[in-house]
Amino acid sequence: MKPIVVMKFGGTSVQDDVAIDRTASIVRGRVERGVQPIVVVSAMAKVTDQLLAAAAAAARGDRKGALFVTSRLRNRHLEAVGRLVTSAACSEVHSTVDAEFNSLDEILRGLAAVGELTPRISDMVVSYGERISSRIVTAAFADRGLNAVHIDARQCIITDAHHGRAIPQDDLIEQRLREHVLPHAQEGRVCVMGGFIGSTIEGVTTTLGRGGSDFTAALVGGGLESESIEIWTDVNGIMTADPRVCPDALRVKSISFEEAAELAYFGAKVLHPATILPAVKKNIPVLVLNSHNPGNEGTRITAVAPHCRSPFKSIAVKKKLTIIDVVASRMLMSHGYLKSVFEIFDKHKCAVDMVSTSEVSVSLTVDSNEKLPEIAADLSQIADVKYEGKKALVCLVGEDIRGHNGIAGRVFSTVKHVNLRMISQGASEINMSFMIEEDDVEEALRSLHKEFFSDPDPEIFDTTEAAKPVAT
Ligand code: ASP
Ligand code: MG
């Protein structure tokens, strides 16, 4: 049998007939190359958000509002069908999609009558996004001569009943994939399934959490031990810096899972590495590729990255942060003190990004949010508190800092003219971060990029002109 490649297409890659047509050509290209694709698709762009809005409206009793949302969605999907499927199969897909929308509307009417949105119903409603997009994509593939077959992902992706963020049951998934997907692949058929959705063993629809289609791709690739997993999106992969700030940013050709995980926290736009763990655990490479530029090699994420001459792979920035200084001269190092500080953040469900402590103070950074006055009020019960917004975290990531001496010196002398508020070297030893004023970000990023990427290792970075991001 030909080697299996799982190809995942995100919302923008299936957003309309033009995008789906492009997706079909990319898949055909893989078939012609002699691999056996299994395709995982997201809902069309923005559909998940709109379905959640419809569910919320229905639960408020706004039946009309909810049905208005779905009537627009119905038109959008049927329009895509009409443009994509010209063969006799058109009326068949048309009625399948229509029937899905009818049952969705029925759920929303029920929801409006009951007025209570449970996580279980919410999963039921949002699942239609991927259920319908996968039907349309299958029909479009078939219309373009691909031997495509639709698979209901819920038959294979078996999860627990934790609605909204269900936990996949790996062994059952593997068994189901072998039963429902593998035989088709062996016959050379291109299986197409929706990402993000699953079901409990009893058959109740669940979802894997927002952005969960990448997770589905990794589960399918991991379960069937595919040769690779391709995540098709609308960027050329991971870059050395944000190209809008650093026009000379380079594409990173190869990166380790750990490095990608550190970076994801800042620019989750590419993918969330936790979701590709099932693939990494089995040593299956994950490629991030661009639907608008399919000839580009993208970024290859592997468990172990090849050696790189430069210490860093990429510089990420996170803005809109607040620094909180907690000063308590008497109590700081006393037993249980930090615990009581963190309990307050926990109580307000506020995630802390960076922490640094001294004898008398502890500084923490958090995403700026409207809870800050309440958090500060609680903290002031146990210490003196000050907080200040408009801060940014700059984070340099690379495994090869381990082997280099004097990296911190180079980093900090490059930004010596900027006021550094906090410094931390990640426990993982692959990340060096510091906090500055938001206004200093562009200057700092450009200087650091120049310092660390002006002599890039051509094995790791794309140093050719073709690496330049396509304007979108
Ligand atoms: N459609 C889902 C979402 O928007 C899953 C995905 O696109 O990965 O979160
Ligand atoms: Mg996504």
pLDDT digits (tens, 9 = 90+) for 374-389: 999 999 988 899 999 9
298 pocket-lining for ligand 1 (C-beta < 6 Å): no
Which ligand number lies closest to the CA of residue 212? 1
Q: How far apart are CA 85 and CA 94, in angstroms?
A: 9
Q: Which pLDDT band, with edges at 50, 70 and 90, does 264 fall under?
A: confident
pLDDT digits (tens, 9 = 90+) for 287-345: 999 999 999 999 999 999 889 998 999 999 989 999 999 998 666 567 778 888 999 99
**Structural domain includes residue 150:** yes
Whether 24 contacts 144, CB under 8 Å: yes
347 and 441 co-located in one domain? yes
118 and 13 co-located in one domain? yes
Across the beta sheet with 36-41, the strand order is 148-151, 190-194, 36-41, 4-9, 228-233, 286-290, 299-302, 254-256
Q: Which pLDDT band, with edges at 50, 70 and 90, does 236 fall under?
A: confident
**Which helix H or strand E contains 141, and what residues bound it?**
helix 119-143
Out of 176, 209, 233, pick the residue that ends a domain: 233
Q: How far apart are CA 135 and CA 18, in angstroms?
A: 16
196 pocket-lining for ligand 1 (C-beta < 6 Å): yes
Q: How far apart are CA 340 and CA 383, in angstroms?
A: 11
Amino acid identity of residue 161, one-letter, is A
Neighbouring residues of 244: CB distance < 8 A, sequence distance ≥ 6: none
pTM of this prediction? 0.87
Which ligand number lies closest to the CA of residue 41? 1
Amino acid identity of residue 112, one-letter, is A
CATH classification at residue 221 = 3.40.1160.10
Please tell me the distance between residue 231's alpha carbon and the centre of ligand 2 in angstroms: 9
**Which helix H or strand E contains 169, and what residues bound it?**
none
320 and 435 co-located in one domain? yes
194 pocket-lining for ligand 1 (C-beta < 6 Å): no
Please tell me the distance between residue 10's alpha carbon and the centre of ligand 1 in angstroms: 8
Please tell me the distance between residue 395's alpha carbon and the centre of ligand 2 in angstroms: 23
* Tokens encoding 345: 């953040």
Q: How far apart are CA 417 and CA 443, in angstroms?
A: 10
Which ligand 1 atom is the nearest neighbour of the CA of 210? 9
Out of 196, 213, 233, pick the residue that ends a domain: 233
In angstroms, what CA-CA distances link 251 with 296, 374, 459? 10, 42, 11
Out of 210, 233, 256, pick the residue that ends a domain: 233
Number of domains making up the chain? 2
Using the Cα atoms of residue 417, residue 421, residue 424 and residue 430 in order, give the sign of their dihedral. Answer: negative
CATH classification at residue 378 = 3.30.2130.10
DSSP 275: G
| pLDDT-wise least confident of 282-286, 297-301, 403-407 | 403-407
DSSP 161: S
Three-state DSSP class for residue 123: helix
43 pocket-lining for ligand 1 (C-beta < 6 Å): yes
275 pocket-lining for ligand 1 (C-beta < 6 Å): no
Which ligand number lies closest to the CA of residue 270? 2
b/e 282-311 (16+ beta carbons within 10 angstroms → b): eebbbbbbbbbbeebbbbbbbeebeebebb
For residue 318, list its beta bridge partners. Answer: 393
Which ligand 1 atom is the nearest neighbour of the CA of 212? 8
Q: How far apart are CA 395 and CA 454, in angstroms?
A: 18
Three-state DSSP class for residue 304: coil
Q: Which domain holds residue 149?
A: 4-233
| pLDDT-wise least confident of 14-28, 241-255, 331-345 | 331-345
**Structural domain includes residue 164:** yes
